[in-house]
Amino acid sequence: MKKHTKIYFEYYDYVEQDFIPCEICGCKAVDIHHLEAKGMGGSKTKDYIENLIAVCREHHVWCHSNKKFNDKAKEIHLENL
């Protein structure tokens, strides 16, 4: 399990077998997205819960392709903490 996924799971007390909902739509999340990109070089400084959101595949693609959508996803995530 990737470090950022482990951080997210531990914060919300999830295990791998749990249904993890997309924080945007409630469908099954398939990715833990970094709201602020880790960037090239694999920096570990972005692996904290305020920067991690569970998303379905469609919303993960939207987060990467639309900065305004990613900003909205961050608002949603921070409201849910």
The string of pLDDT tens digits covering residues 16-72 is 999 999 999 999 999 999 999 876 445 567 899 999 999 999 999 999 999 999 999
The DSSP line for 14-57 is --TTS--B-TTT-SB--EEEESS--TTTT-STT-SGGGEEEE-H
Q: In which residue are the tokens 């569970």 written?
A: 54
What is the predicted pLDDT for the residue at 46?
A: 87
Query: Which residues, other chains included, contact 19 with Cβ-Cβ below 8 Å and sequence gap of 6+?
Result: 28
pLDDT number for residue 39: 65
